[in-house]
Amino acid sequence: MNNNTLYDFDGFRLDTDQKCLWRGEELVSLTPKAYETLQVLIKNNGKVITKNEILDEVWENTYVEEATLAQNISTLRKALAKYDKTKDFIVTIPRRGYRFVADVTEINSEEEELIVEKHTVTHIVAEHKEIHDSGDAKDTQIQVNETITPELSDSSMTKRLVITVAVAAFVIAGVGFALLSYFSSAGDHYTTKFQKFKVNTLFSGGSISEFAASPDGKYIAVIERKPSGDSIYLKQTKDGNNLEVLPKSDLHILGAAFAVNGDYIFYSGYKKEDLGNGAIGKLYRIPILGGASQEILKDIDSEVAASADGARIAFIRNIPKEKRSALMISDLEGGEEKELAAAAFPETFMNSGLSWSPDTKSIAGVILNRDSKNSPVKLVAIDIETGEKKTLASKDWLWIGRTNWLEDTSGIAFVGYGTKSPNLTDEIWLASYPAGDLRSITNGIRGVSGISMSRDSKSILASKLTRIRSSYVSELNDFENAREIAKTTGEESLLPLGSSWVGEEKIVYSQTKNGDADIWIMNADGTKAKQLTTGEGADYSPFVSPDEKQIYFLSNRKGELGIWSMDLDGQNQTKVISLPNMLQPSFSVTKDGIFYLAKAPDNPYRVLWKSDREGKAVKQVTSKFTGAPKISPDGKFVFCIYPKADSKTMSTRQPLHQTILSAETGKVLKQFEKLTLFKAPVAAWKTDNSGVLVVEDSKLWLKRIDQEKPALVKEWENGTVYQISLSKSGEKVYYQKGEEVISVVELEDSSVE
């Protein structure tokens, strides 16, 4: 007799003998550790089980960080939500652990033998197709379950024979279909690659902007940002030796890509002096051992993708006057240009993400839809003959970066950032082709640097950003005696986390801890830190209201970015305003309203809006592109990034300036020098509304409306200032300063195929 124990809940069945989860007749894809975590939760159904208890049982005698458990819980929630999004089976109990809350029925009976036997037969086939969440695959080994045939009594054997005959027609049909699917796809790279992988750090640096790997994986072309113009150097993957390919230029380089034969590097860029002034991009080619650059074509707004046969290149061309962008292809000399596909407003091709399939039949690209609320970005494959666009991954992406086809064309590896990222970092995913199924590989990636895959699909190169930050409090007029109150290492968030004062003695701030960004409050000397928000999702950019009764903050909980409010003790958390489609959100609170960025009506850029404190009575403040706004405490002025005052065009391809506007009319009151590169400034208004404190290149400046030139307040010898905020009196300053290290890492596939 088989003593297998089954657990049924809401249409699911957990089979402890076969160590798998079923939804009806469908096998639910879970990693071994995710399954074990679920089994622990179900066996303790209705009880609060602590994180340590789960860690001790699932990872016995192994040191594992809580972030790994959090990843497993997230994996389980996603797997269960695939079948029923209305129910939350696993509840987080703040500062205690988790509780499984479904009604569970435990079954341990011979009567269930039919179902067990049927699942056992199917599982042998489906097991090889199980999609493992590679986020914790590095902590597990892929194992094939051993099938054991127990001894049977005569009556039991007779019963099984009768049952088997009765269901044979159904089982054979199902197994035959599963076998067909298995043998047609079990060996493809999408299914087998990066189920497990090793992570190796290749090299690190502070000025790595973007990189691209050669087709054979032996070299890496690194773009280095410089004030006068960017450069490119070549690095050997294994021994780390450097070779300058393009020592200097007058360009802001968009990206680089190797020719298929590996002899040349293509790179595209705008002249630095033309940035924000209708810059026209150009494409160049340079030998990998250095030498003279050759200009190939003009009017390009992306890096290029080379076809596998080495005959053609693809690139994006923006056409602002027509409010559209085009995917172009040409030969290697820039001739025989052809528009393959177009995206018209509200859609546009993004300038990252192009890659040509190994069979040269398709090109991967990324399209942004500015009118889409929660899924503005999608991965597409464009047919090279017809130009038809097929959507592969329209999940909840706010941004998708570089893409790479798998060697056998069974899928595409890409880096993206979604609306639900708990720690505000990018993730590496695989999308199957042509089905468009998704599989997560890992998170914690700095996707803007790109990812590159070797031609044989055995390794992925990506970059990680790690910040080492110290928090200080000082008097505004006495930075020399600043007090260090806290130190943070390993911070990976790619977005500013923010801070705000309560009076003179408390500071509200955000930090990532245990894989989530949350809001905290502490004394101004760094003591008595208390967590105010918990649960899944990122909570950041806190702003204490002028009356000091509420904290407003950004949150992507429940999969949609928005402005939320809560009491000073963390109670009464309420969503105030939805901010769909905002990759770089920003807001400020005044005594009578909330200023925030959102999309302009009928135009492809963001503008400033104002509502009352409840998110109602909304009105538009600016009509042109607006970036990183900071509102003066009295609500009368806006410091922001804004086009030139006399500009008549609404296009984003125009000069941008640090600007002070009227918060009532949007009129330009003061503009400072033109920006050479768009970057959200670290800034804070003085509490007397007389000017703005702005950090630029480790220098703190005071910029006032009534003064022509800014005044230098403080110069730091080293480090980067990430945020700054003033106490309510304006006499104290809280700021974070530190270093950041960008590391290029290799994800080396070690899956068993």
| CA neighbor of 685 nearest in space, from 624, 644, 646, 634 | 634
pLDDT score of 573 more than 70: yes
Q: Cβ distance 564 to 553 under 8 Å?
A: yes
Query: What backbone torsions phi and psi does residue 263 show, to the nearest 5 degrees?
Result: -85, -25
Q: What percent of the chain has pLDDT over 70?
A: 84
**Alpha carbon distance 399, 450 (integer Å):** 12
**Alpha carbon distance 654, 741 (integer Å):** 32
**Alpha carbon distance 539, 555 (integer Å):** 4
Among all chains, which residue has been given the structure tokens 């405490």? 633
Parse the chain into domains and list their residue ranges.
Answer: 6-139+154-186, 197-466+744-749
Q: How confident is the model at residue 329, as a pLDDT?
A: 96
CB atoms closer than 10 angstroms to residue 212: 24
- What does the angle CA 660 – CA 565 – CA 90 come to, to the nearest 5 degrees? 135
Does 583 or 204 have the greater pLDDT score? 204
CB atoms closer than 10 angstroms to residue 386: 9
SS3 readout for 402-428: EEEECCCCCEEEEEEEECCCCCCCEEE
Q: What percent of the chain has pLDDT over 90?
A: 47
pLDDT score of 155 more than 70: no
Q: How confident is the model at residue 266 (pLDDT cuts 50, 70, 90)?
A: very high
Does 53 or 621 have the greater pLDDT score? 621
> Mean pLDDT throughout 351-367?
94
Looking only at the bridges linking them, the beta strands covering 732-749 and 197-205 are antiparallel
Q: How confident is the model at residue 186, as a pLDDT?
A: 52
| CA neighbor of 660 nearest in space, from 684, 642, 680, 678 | 642
625 token code pair: 């592109």
> Mean pLDDT throughout 294-301?
94
Query: What backbone torsions phi and psi does residue 252 show, to the nearest 5 degrees?
Result: -100, 105
**Alpha carbon distance 559, 676 (integer Å):** 35
Q: How confident is the model at residue 159, as a pLDDT?
A: 36
Q: Cβ distance 372 to 383 under 8 Å?
A: no
**Where is 70: in which H helix or E strand?**
helix 66-81
Q: How confident is the model at residue 209, as a pLDDT?
A: 83
Crossing angle between the packed helical segments 51-58 and 66-81, to the nearest 10 degrees? 90
Please list, in sequence order, all residues whose beta carbon lies within 8 angstroms of the beta carbon of residue 174, skipping any fewer than 6 positions away.
25, 122
> Mean pLDDT throughout 388-411?
90
Q: Cβ distance 586 to 594 under 8 Å?
A: no
**Alpha carbon distance 156, 140 (integer Å):** 37
Q: Using CB atoms within 10 Å of the CB of residue 107, give its burial: 0 to 12 exposed, 13 to 18 middle, 19+ buried.
A: middle
Handedness of CA 530, 535, 537, 542 (dihedral sign): negative
Query: What backbone torsions phi and psi does residue 122 show, to the nearest 5 degrees?
Result: -65, -35
pLDDT digits (tens, 9 = 90+) for 172-181: 344 444 444 4
SS3 readout for 449-460: HCCEECCCCCEE
| CA neighbor of 638 nearest in space, from 646, 627, 649, 648 | 627
> Mean pLDDT throughout 194-208?
84
458 token code pair: 């055995």
545 token code pair: 């209201």
The dihedral over CA atoms of 502, 505, 510, 511, expressed in degrees to the nearest 10, equals -170
Strand blocks (E) in 142-263: 197-205, 208-213, 219-224, 231-236, 242-246, 251-258
Q: How confident is the model at residue 652, as a pLDDT?
A: 54
pLDDT score of 113 more than 70: no
> Mean pLDDT throughout 675-679?
68
CATH code of the domain made up of 197-466+744-749? 2.120.10.30
Q: Cβ distance 436 to 456 under 8 Å?
A: no
Q: How confident is the model at residue 84, as a pLDDT?
A: 79
Please list, in sequence order, all residues whose beta carbon lies within 8 angstroms of the beta carbon of residue 656, skipping any fewer than 6 positions away.
276, 625, 627, 641, 642, 643, 674, 675, 678
pLDDT digits (tens, 9 = 90+) for 544-568: 999 999 999 999 887 788 999 999 9
pLDDT digits (tens, 9 = 90+) for 3-15: 578 899 888 899 8
Q: How confident is the model at residue 130, as a pLDDT?
A: 30
10 token code pair: 């809401």
Among all chains, which residue has been given the structure tokens 């700054």? 724
Among all chains, which residue has been given the structure tokens 């806006």? 638
Does 183 or 739 have the greater pLDDT score? 739
pLDDT digits (tens, 9 = 90+) for 615-661: 999 999 999 999 999 999 999 999 999 998 887 665 556 778 999 99
**Alpha carbon distance 575, 563 (integer Å):** 6
CA dist list (Å): 308 to 262, 363, 401, 409, 546 = 12, 11, 21, 12, 59
Q: How confident is the model at residue 412 (pLDDT cuts 50, 70, 90)?
A: very high
Q: How confident is the model at residue 333 (pLDDT cuts 50, 70, 90)?
A: confident
Q: How confident is the model at residue 75, as a pLDDT?
A: 81
The dihedral over CA atoms of 77, 82, 83, 85, expressed in degrees to the nearest 10, equals 70
Longest C-alpha distance within the chain, in Å? 99
Query: What backbone torsions phi and psi does residue 39 show, to the nearest 5 degrees?
Result: -65, -40
**Alpha carbon distance 719, 698 (integer Å):** 7
Crossing angle between the packed helical segments 154-185 and 113-126, to the nearest 10 degrees? 30
**Alpha carbon distance 355, 350 (integer Å):** 13
Looking at residue 260, its amino acid is V
Q: How much is the CA Rg of the chain, to the nearest whole Å?
A: 28
> Mean pLDDT throughout 306-316?
94
pLDDT digits (tens, 9 = 90+) for 216-257: 888 999 998 887 889 999 988 877 678 889 998 999 999 999
Q: How many residues does the chain have?
A: 753
pLDDT score of 134 more than 80: no
First-residue to last-residue Cα distance in the chain: 35
> Mean pLDDT throughout 360-364?
96
pLDDT digits (tens, 9 = 90+) for 510-546: 988 767 889 999 999 999 999 999 877 889 999 999 9
Please list, in sequence order, all residues whose beta carbon lies within 8 angstroms of the beta carbon of residue 321, skipping any fewer than 6 positions away.
none
Looking at residue 720, its amino acid is T
Strand blocks (E) in 644-698: 656-662, 668-674, 682-685, 691-696
Q: How confident is the model at residue 150 (pLDDT cuts 50, 70, 90)?
A: very low
| CA neighbor of 103 nearest in space, from 5, 38, 39, 9 | 9
CA dist list (Å): 365 to 384, 392, 400, 682 = 12, 10, 9, 33
DSSP H helices, 82-153, are 113-126, 134-137
Please list, in sequence order, all residues whose beta carbon lies within 8 angstroms of the beta carbon of residue 239, skipping any fewer than 6 positions away.
none
**Alpha carbon distance 470, 464 (integer Å):** 20
Q: How confident is the model at residue 665, as a pLDDT?
A: 94
Q: How confident is the model at residue 169, as a pLDDT?
A: 41
Distance of CA 629 to the CA centre of its chain: 23
> Mean pLDDT throughout 85-106?
85
**Candidate CATH numbers 3.40.190.10, 3.40.190.80, 1.10.10.10, 3.40.50.300; the one for domain 6-139+154-186:** 1.10.10.10
> Mean pLDDT throughout 411-440?
88
**Alpha carbon distance 493, 509 (integer Å):** 14
Q: Cβ distance 640 to 628 under 8 Å?
A: yes
Total-model pTM:
0.70
Q: How confident is the model at residue 533, as a pLDDT?
A: 95
pLDDT score of 723 more than 70: yes
